[in-house]
Amino acid sequence: MKLNPLNTALVAAGVLAMGTAGAFTLPWQHKTQSTPAAVAAEAADSNAVSVPLAAVEAPNYREIFRQNAPAVVNITVDGLHKVTAEEGGGLPPGMENDPFFQFFKGIPGFRMPRGGMQPQPQPFHGLGSGFIIDHDGMILTNAHVVREAKEVTVKLQDRREFKARVLGSDPVTDVAVLKIDAKDLPVVHIGDSQQIQVGDPVMAIGAPFGFTESATQGIVSAKGRSLPGDSVVPFIQTDAAVNPGNSGGPLFNAQGQVIGINAQIFSRTGGYEGLSFSIPIDVVMKVKDQIVATGKAEHGRLGVTVQDLNQGLAESFGLGNPNGALVSQVMPGSAAAAAGLKAGDVITAVNGQPLERSGALSSVIGMSAPGTQVDLTVWRNHESMPIQARLGGIRDSGDQLASNGGAGQGEQLGLALRPLTPQERQQARLGSGLVVEGVAGAAESAGIQPGDVITAINGKPVSSIEQIQDVLKRKPKSVALLVNRDGNQIFVPVPLG
């Protein structure tokens, strides 16, 4: 299953949150009438639970569409796409599959030869959706809808067309702000995405496949979703049908208020398969305000790679439950490094707010301004401690981590290990670690592979096999190995019991 951002398969997720005035009336609630005897019998039952679902009505989708469709726009984009070498642009026929090219293209610093081998920009034509937020022509859409655009055209419901200016776009949150020269335009009403709950009804309006003024409905399937490559945004997941062209369109709640922008889907085909995602409107409006004020949006950066805990990892670090964000990598020179964070730390709260998943940390940090001080609660060496960090900017650079030579076997783990050679340490930019030369048993089942480098066990750096054996002598039920693979690091839990 693949995550499709909505400029490749321009797809939208629609969400319509229900407030106190909206809910579904279940079919059997119309068929069953309570008699006085039945009411008395229910009152006598001490276990009876009152569920007042019949007291509320389903959303009036017809009225929501009537009021808001005039403020939903169709966006067409023309531009030049810079074709990368990996996409095969500008390569002689067949060279994109040549083993020599495939081997060397991944080497840092490798560039395509100059001349006829250079990929040439390719013209493209794209479709998307958007919505008007003020009467003077300010429009919100997805950043990927207008990426690489040379010309953006906005078409209104009354068939008028306007050339639009891109006031700014933010690829981190996938939000863009457009402006057209028009007055007295219809607008949508902005809602509160914090108030939606799983099960609330939702509605999306957009232009799937260029078919303007199309509406779909569903429910909120989940909140606060973290998606690969989009860690800053706590997405709203819905089952509202969206397809290419819906991208950038509005998501309405039961009161007809916008609570998100259609953004991404999970799909094997590029089309809708039941999983749609939207950017919460509170995130969108924060980014919009920055773009209008400065032409760009800035995001805080802590400088760590984090992952979710599971029960095995939690037990390895002495935690009672798998809540929090496990730090698997700290970037040198980052805010995290300056604050003293280490790989193996578990961040359990930010500014006093407990963290259940690592994505919540990314959202809080990413939506904070550079220079903001954050108060972290960190679990280290089986105890909790406070750490303060002053965030850097999201464009700050940082390398991989470092750690410090032994040989031998980790039989209980099923690993054959050796220390890194000086050349390997320099090439991998690691201070120390143990190379996996063979793997079987528990480690193989956990996903460890030959060529991986073990840089820490249970959060403590390793430079010799004896350090691994010391941990195993305590007969733990599981251990957490920090594994470096192709420059990326992640903690891998290995059950031993």
| Active-site residue flag, 174 | yes
| Active-site residue flag, 98 | no
Q: Indicate the helix (H) or strand (E) that contains 479.
A: strand 478-485
Cβ-contact 287, 281 below 8 angstroms: no
Q: Which of 144, 169, 170, 316 is catalytic?
A: 144
Closest CA to 69 of 132, 111, 11: 132
Closest CA to 415 of 474, 483, 475: 483
Q: Which of 129, 247, 368, 403 is catalytic?
A: 247
| Active-site residue flag, 144 | yes
CA dihedral 350, 351, 356, 362 (to 10 degrees): -50
Joined tokens for residue 392: 């850097």
Closest CA to 66 of 310, 200, 256, 287: 256
As a whole number of Å, the CA-based R_g of the chain is: 27
Q: Indicate the helix (H) or strand (E) that contains 103.
A: helix 99-104
Rounded to whole angstroms, how far apart are CA atoms 251 and 240? 10
175-179 and 189-190 beta bridge pairing: unpaired
Rounded to whole angstroms, how far apart are CA atoms 415 and 443? 7
Q: Which of 129, 170, 174, 368 is catalytic?
A: 174
Q: Which residues participate in catalysis according to the annotation?
A: 144, 174, 247
